[in-house]
Chain A
């Protein structure tokens, strides 16, 4: 279907203002597929007609709903197995060592969690080793800008296709129960994670996190927004904290707030001099 440049500009602008994300040229052809259900529900035939309806502002939350529909929520359990192995052995290992004699508390922030698979993967990783984590308090905060994704994450109910993506069968049997044709996360794992809507472009949640996951989202941002977001993360991470990005993502060339973890390539740590000024900047 034809969509006018004007309509694309409006949708792209809306997406960028609300999420910082850019609507790449390559995505243009997908707009219609993504918005088709919303158009159908309103009996609107053309995309231009839909954008017209949108800008008239008759429906209070329509802009949020449209942005949600345009966001790419693709995710799956234990995405990049090798990265999770590294996280478990090096990242979590180091934090366990560092906090083992002191607070025995771990604060984790999963910063673009989509429909929850990533946060639940982390929770399962920890639940898999009850002996190692005995006596610890592990808080996992998981957030996403998409309200509909957060609602689904909270629900913790996955289709047969979703449950099979990335999740080893033994973990599926251990941590999920079948409900009709869907699969529900174990209540004990569910309780390990707190979900909330949050936009990475805005101030981070309060407190310092020992581990931050921000995966497969930076790539949708412009260079400036990427720098801004990484700066925000630097202000929210403990001085000896660990940052984990997506497999194809790096801080190099994007921000000097983080450096490669020389003990675990693929993970990052805050650059100390800078991250503290980030924290100070935030308190101000």
Chain B
């Protein structure tokens, strides 16, 4: 079973994402901010991280940079999933190493398709 870490400070969004991911046969873990997510990745790196942008403690971008500097047995794919929908934001995320980008609000098809594009679904 593929694993996905959902990183979002909104419990509601995490729940929605979890629901969709479970129907796609993912084993889902959750984190409420970048710091928590980083710790999770160090302990048990998932196949893919679904990553919000704006979060307290550590933002999505900070997490992405920190992830790049962390030694891990395997590097998870990173799919941003955020309301930030400007081209500058999207480009910055890709330049920082994100593999794909989902603009909220999203639906099941979009998420499934993006996970296919990064090769995990």
Contacts and interface: CB of A to CB of B under 8 A. Distances in A.
Interface range on chain B (Cβ under 8 Å from partner): 10 to 19
A172 B87 CA distance: 10
Contacts of A170: 94
B117 A164 contact: no
A160 B117 CA distance: 18
B102 interface: yes
Task: List the 9 closest pairs (A to B, CB-CB), nearest first.
Answer: A169-B101, A164-B110, A178-B87, A168-B117, A169-B100, A160-B103, A173-B91, A166-B113, A165-B113
Contacts of A252: none
A44 to B, nearest CB: 32
B94 A173 contact: yes
A166 B100 CA distance: 12
A169 B90 CA distance: 8
Contact of A164 (B86, B91, B106): B106
Interface of A: 76, 81, 160-161, 164-166, 168-170, 172-173, 177-178, 181
Contacts of A76: 113
Contact of A173 (B87, B109, B114, B117): B87
Nearest to B104: A160
Contact of B102 (A81, A164, A177, A178): A164
Contacts of A160: 85, 103
8 contacts: A81-B116, A164-B113, A165-B110, A170-B94, A173-B91, A173-B94, A178-B85, A178-B87
